[in-house]
A = this chain, B = another copy of it.
């Protein structure tokens, strides 16, 4: 397998990106193409011992910055690490691409260069939602589309189910529609329509899921528009952080509580780790004709490593083709009505 990695994307690029590539190269037999300004990547690589057959530099003279206007940057910065990385996937030189760069530009670039899977109107970004105490749900869309039609949400459900089966190893994942009540007539017109579409589909649809059920992992795949998805992720992250700060202060109050914090420190760290998105192997851009994985802008070497490992499974299991087949069947079904 050949893997393309955006050496310039994210707050800790290129150092942590390169470090992550070097680390993962010890574990896998694939070739990793690190894209970026050659001198900078080479300087970082010099810090490590690595197999030169496994890590290669692809020079890219431009960098898409976080404050670049996404669509414009994707259209004009053709010699950027991001656009060149996507092109390596397009021409099948690489099996997948990992980037921690500008999310909007990565989405726009994916659309321009790879194109949509036939039948997919709106690609989406899927994100792992950690369940405290163990397990995870998978949330689609996590922020790419603020406003959605019911057909978009159905596509998200299909894509999320396939990802969960093939990459997160959950058989027949249950699908829940994020809504403000459990009854099928709840929520907006779009959600009422989506409820009907999901009910008729072959997915393992379990109905509406309310906010309070989400942290309990009630559904494997959580379907919602990107506005709601983004709010769910960020609110959960913020609340978890706030609770951890509150606990920290509480544990400081006496020698015994301090000691007990030490005794529980592994579990407390576990809890913190649950909301650390670097652990989850990145967020796939679902619905484009190629495997693209977005990692958080603040990703460290560990996040890069995990994203590459999950990405291999994503590419190896032909998730893109499986989505394409499922969406085609969906179209047949709709056409047959």
Contact = CB atoms under 8 A, between A and B. Distances in A.
Contacts of A245: 133
Nearest to A274: B246
Among A143, A215, A263, max chain B CB count under 10 A is at: A215
Interface of chain A: mostly helix, strand, loop or mixed = helix
A237 interface: yes
B257 A264 contact: yes
Give this chain's copy count.
2
Given A243-B132, A256-B263, A212 B228 contact: no
Nearest to A187: B146
Given A188-B227, A232-B211, A263 B271 contact: no
Interface string A187-219: 111000000000000000000001111111000
Given A146-B187, A242-B215, A227 B180 contact: yes
A98 to B, nearest CB: 23
Interface footprint category on A: 35 or more
Contact of A246 (B147, B231, B271): B271
Contacts of A28: none
A71 interface: no
Given A180-B230, A214-B235, A235-B214, A253 B242 contact: no
Contacts of A143: 180
Interface string A245-283: 111011101101101110110011001000000000000
A178 interface: yes
Given A188-B147, A239-B240, A231 B234 contact: no
29 contacts: A132-B239, A133-B245, A133-B246, A143-B180, A147-B189, A178-B231, A180-B226, A180-B230, A180-B231, A180-B234, A210-B231, A210-B234, A211-B234, A211-B236, A212-B234, A212-B241, A227-B228, A228-B231, A231-B231, A235-B235, A236-B239, A239-B239, A240-B243, A243-B243, A250-B264, A250-B268, A253-B263, A253-B267, A260-B260
